[in-house]
Structure 1
């Protein structure tokens, strides 16, 4: 959220651009106290946006998401095509949905953002989303929190690290929850420098929606890529 100084500068610039279209009489002061009921409602509210192809059948979308979430009591409204407001019956249900994200509708990524008390709907950034990423190929001796955290930073902002237990039959190492910038190509791996020995480790994204293997971005398939036309790729 912007600082007080940035907010004052933004408002001053807006007032200057309006010229004679406003006066100090148009300023409406509001109480600093937000009612507890509104606080609770905002806490249970998420804003959602379909990352690509926003024009979907609204009723079909809501029916599908309620079944996927296993919540009949969620109240949903469509602000504009592809933009939604979800009000959950309880804080626990909302937290469960956020923990289990990302969610998709017809392979179209649904980005969810927590409603904030003082931020209008149109001010949210829907260019980032959190994914669980499995990291494979890390040697047993280096399967520690710091190494997975450092590897995760190559993909984006690290939210959480989960290491596999030694009793795990698969024992692949672990996974990291990352907030990823969707405007950038996804990274497929990284190189670990271990005493001048370079070792490739692989990133595997869980529940990945529309993805272009040619360009490396979420939002479309390789056959629909405009940056690297599918027809020009070697057969």
Structure 2
């Protein structure tokens, strides 16, 4: 994209092409108003997916009141218009979503952003952290562990900041272009403890590098993977960390 912008910057425009079109503030307000019921999605599959198939499938998965409309703006990139704000909020709060076991990345609608500049490189997941000592099943430890993975968004604890149960549940925003970690080593009173991670709704991963998304050139570790590296993972250690 930067190369295209540099190329355009070096072009010599004709007098006709130098005419500037200005938009009034009223039209911007209209864009924002319409965007209040919209989201943008990218389906991270290595094959094209038709909008009607996506619309029919996701209505069943979301269980929304009315069918949402999908407008294709790029390969597997769609603008979704919901019938009401409640349906839109339901889709946002239920993230992450999968489509045919491929990552279904939802983003807020930005009406002033060109489709080619939209970035779909992060997604939030609920991660179950096992093997924390009982006294460390807290919001503070959840945030520390979550920050080591990406960006900690939420920790499922009670009003006192304590998590009760077999695991601590943390919502983390992950970079999809990095390996998916199966755990972490933590130091508790000079003792090393291995924490095991289990992910909710984890999609297909590259079986070589562990990334959820690879670039258009394929896996950075092995050149013989498919163009997105989106294959069912065969590493037993990571496969066991997936929750449905």
TM-score by length of 1: 0.79
Note the C-alpha offset of 1:36: 4.6
The answer on whether the counterparts of 1:50 and 1:110 sit within 8 Å (CA) in structure 2 is yes
The answer on whether the counterparts of 1:47 and 1:113 sit within 8 Å (CA) in structure 2 is yes
Which has the larger helix fraction? 1
Within the alignment, does 1:43 sit opposite 2:46 as a pair? no
1:117–1:60 CA distance, 2 compared to 1 (3 A): closer
The equivalent of 1:108 in structure 2 is 102
Note the C-alpha offset of 1:229: 7.2
- 1:1-12 to structure 2, matched below 5 A, reads none
1:100–1:16 CA distance, 2 compared to 1 (3 A): closer
Determine the C-alpha separation between the residues in 2 that align with 1:80 and 1:214. 28
Which of 200, 210, 221 lines up with 2:204 in the alignment?
Answer: 210
The equivalent of 2:135 in structure 1 is 141
The equivalent of 1:125 in structure 2 is 119
Which of 28, 31, 38 lines up with 2:24 in the alignment?
Answer: 31
Spell out, residue by residue over 1:93-148, the C-alpha distance to the aligned partner (whole angstroms, 9 max, x if none): 21111111111111111111110232222221111111111111111111111111
TM-score by length of 2: 0.76
The gaps in structure 2 that reach 5 residues or longer are 226-233, 236-244
- 1:15-30 to structure 2, matched below 5 A, reads 16-21=9-14, 25-30=18-23
Determine the C-alpha separation between the residues in 1 that align with 2:14 and 2:153. 45
Within the alignment, does 1:157 sit opposite 2:138 as a pair? no
Aligned-residue RMSD, C-alpha: 3.3
The gaps in structure 1 that reach 5 residues or longer are 1-10
1:139–1:29 CA distance, 2 compared to 1 (3 A): same
